[in-house]
Structure formats: C-alpha cells, structure tokens
Amino acid sequence: MAARRVIVEVKKRSTSPPIEAMAKAVRLPERASSFALDERFDPLPARRPVHHYALFGMDVLDEDSVLLRGEIAPDEEWQLRADPDVVAVWSDAPIAPFPSPPAGPTPCPKVDCDPSIPKGTIADVVTYLGCDRIWEEGVRGEGIVIGICDTGVNRRAVPAVVDGWTADDDIPWGMDEQGHGTMCAYDAVGVCPQAKLLDIGILKSEGPSFGGFISDAILAFDWAIERYRQDGTPQILSNSWGMYRNEWAPDYATDPRHPFTLKVLQAIAEGIIVCFAAGNCGNICPDSRCGDDVGFGKSIWGANGHEEVITVGAANIHGQWAGYSSQGPAALCEHKPDFCAPSHFSGYNRSDTGSSAACPVCAGVIGLLKQARPALTQEQAKRVLAVTARNLCAPGWDYQTGFGMIRAWPAFEAVRRQTLPRAPRVAARRYRR
C-alpha cells in the first residue's frame, strides 16, 4: 500500500526554543513505525489564533505545537493519531494551477466555453474596468507589492519581480519554466502597472509537472507573513491554484481547521489582502481533472472558498460567464464566489484564460484601491468590489458569478470618497443541475 503524505501537528518538548533548535525540541511520533519525516520541511510553529479554538469548540493547548511533514502507511495512521504528543494529522493535499479547460454544454444566459479565442486584449480589459481613468488620477500602483503564488514568474518577461520564495531551490525565484505564474504576474501589472511583484513559487516542488502540496503553501504563506511584518509588503497575495477534487483530501477540502486554511486567516489578520481563484470546475465545461466534482456545491474546496478570502470567478469583457468557472456554495462558505474578473483576453499568451487569469486582474485592481486608501482592509476591499459590481447571470448575487463583474472605477470613487458602502444583501439563487 502506497505511503500517504501528511502534515502532523506535534507538541513541543520545551516551551519556547529558538527556531533553529526547534527540530530538536520536537519529540517525533514513536507509535507509528512507518512514519518517515521529511527533513526538508523545517518544523513550523502552528500559530493557531486563539479565537479559532473557541470557534471550533476546541480546547486551547497548554503547550505550543509545530507542524511537521512526512509520509506514513495508511493502515498505521491511526497509531500516529493515538500518540499523546500528536495534536492532529492532516492530509498534505496535492494542488495545481487553474488554467482553462476544454469546451463543453448552461444556466447563465451568456456563457463562454471557448477560451482559445481571446475577447479583447489586456488594454481592452483596462478600459472595460475603468483602470485607465484611475491611471489618469495618478494612481498606477506605486508602493504596492503583490505576491504571485504560483509556478514562478519569469522576471525577464515581467521585470516588476523584486524578490521571492521557492519550494524548489533548483528553480529559484525569478524563474518560471511552466509559464502559468508568469501569465498571472503579467495580468496583475497589466492593470496595476507600477506595482512590484514577489514570485512566491508554491507550485515548484513537483519539478517539471508543476504542481505542489498544501505543505508548500503553508511555508510560502508563513514567508509572506514574516516579510509583511518586516516592511508591510506584500499588501496582496494572488492565488490562482487549488485542489480539483474533494476525494484528494476531504479534511482540507471541508474542514476550516486545516493548518493551511488557518495560515491564510493569519495572513488576513496580519493585514494582507488574500485573493483566490474560484477554480475551473463549473458544470458547463469543466476541467477534466475535476472528475465528478463539478458544479453547484462541488467545485470550490478548502481555503479558496473560505468566508474571509476574496474568491474570484471568471467572465469575459462581453459579459459572458466562463462556463468552467467554479460555482458555489463553497465547502466552507455558502455565498461563493464573491464576484468575477475578466478572463479570455490577449495578454502574456494569445489568450490568458481560466479563473487563473481573473484572480490576478482582481488583485491588480485591489492594488490600485490600496494605493488610493492604504488602510483598506480585506473586508473593505471585498465589500466595495461587491457593491459596485455589474450583474451578469442574475440580479443581485448568484452561485455562478457572485455579485457579477468587478468595476474598478466605481470602486475607486467609493474608496477615494472615504465612505465605503454597506455590505450588500445576499439572496441566494439556486439553479437546477
């Protein structure tokens, strides 16, 4: 039986050892003989926010704990869980980027299932959203740093990259042999041209196959949090990746206590605005990797659909919903996605596609808003983009497009007036599968 990748939360021996000595301060589980520790993953403080203990009906630990990564035979996992020093055992879920899937049959009146044909250019997207009007006001992203969490960023193609983190030292930051992350970076600065970028190479640990694991994302987000504490950047993290199927790791997909989801919430609590692509498992033309997990309530898993994150679906500038864009309700929140941003346009590629392209466009718009109002929070950014969005599938909010297509200029005007609108009311609209 093949070994299973796991993330293990373990109590520390001493109360507060220095980080360099943490590996020695952790007593490794002894009951499960097949557990193989991955020594490339430095023990990481769990740092679970105390209010989450009460939220999930858990007892607050008397001792600190750390996260380890390793592999174990599935039939011995119960022994690992039985170890008195083991707080929890979580799946180390496989993750992948969200490029566009092939075409296929819809509930929205206007649907685009042909991402290979671009509907305009990045310049058209700028005009459509009203970013050009914001630029004319002298706001082009100066002082903003956006973290592109993906396969990497080729800094020759996108010179705005100034620093980064990588899950694979053989593919350092500033390199992207796959191109997906470079597309995302290009699209972000396409609407926020003076922003600087961090290449956060979460999806590099699988080498040429360009995938990764949730444990890589935990390390990457921890790096971004520490960076933010040093100089207040990155202000925004753009994530165009996720997990395609619930069966790959049900505990990550549906349990808000998973250590990566808590790490995302920690980043938001620190002051970083976090955006996630909704995914490409919509029920009209889903990605083949989605399997049977497509459509309503079966296509937005884990942190991508947490209530606190900004979840971005895809549509084109002709007002057509991308028929593969994942639909709510998400596993962790009923009212997802929040809204859509443009996809299917000529940018880095002949056609930049998927909810992957939409997410960094949204992140770039938030960069403009953040320059105009540096104190803008996650909740405020989500609210102003929702209130000013243009309806697509139905009046108000719906499970396909959220509140519709974001509009940069009206959102900017609201932010500049320093009078942010109230959160919009949500009346859920279900469509038959």
**What tens digit of pLDDT does each residue of 351-402 get?**
999 999 999 999 999 999 999 999 999 999 999 999 999 999 888 899 999 9
Q: What are phi and psi of 180, to 5 degrees?
A: -65, -45
CA distance 406 to 390: 6
Average pLDDT (211-233) is 95
Question: Which of 105-109, 143-147, 348-352 has the least mean pLDDT?
Answer: 105-109
Of the candidates 226, 231, 238, the residue with the CA atom closest to the CA atom of residue 192: 238
Tell me what pLDDT residue 69 has: 87
Tell me what pLDDT residue 205 has: 80
Please list the residues that pair with 7 across neighbouring strands: 69, 90
Residue 183 has pLDDT above 90, yes or no: yes
- The CATH class, in words, for 97-416 is alpha beta
Tell me what pLDDT residue 63 has: 53
CA atoms within 13 A on the CB side of 382: 23
Residue 231 has pLDDT above 90, yes or no: yes
Average pLDDT (267-295) is 96
Tell me what pLDDT residue 22 has: 46
Average pLDDT (299-323) is 97
Structure tokens at 188: 């972000």
- Binned at pLDDT 50, 70 and 90, residue 100 comes out as low
Residues contacting residue 306 through CB under 8 Å, at least 6 positions apart: 256, 261, 264, 265, 330, 332, 333
Residue 212 has pLDDT above 50, yes or no: yes
Residue 89 has pLDDT above 90, yes or no: no
CA distance 183 to 144: 19
CA distance 296 to 52: 28
In the chain, pLDDT over 90 holds for what percent of residues?
66
- Binned at pLDDT 50, 70 and 90, residue 70 comes out as confident
Tell me what pLDDT residue 431 has: 37
Of the candidates 386, 410, 407, 409, the residue with the CA atom closest to the CA atom of residue 398: 386
Query: Which tens digits make up the pLDDT trace of 20-35?
Result: 444 444 555 655 567 7
Tell me what pLDDT residue 29 has: 60
- Binned at pLDDT 50, 70 and 90, residue 99 comes out as low
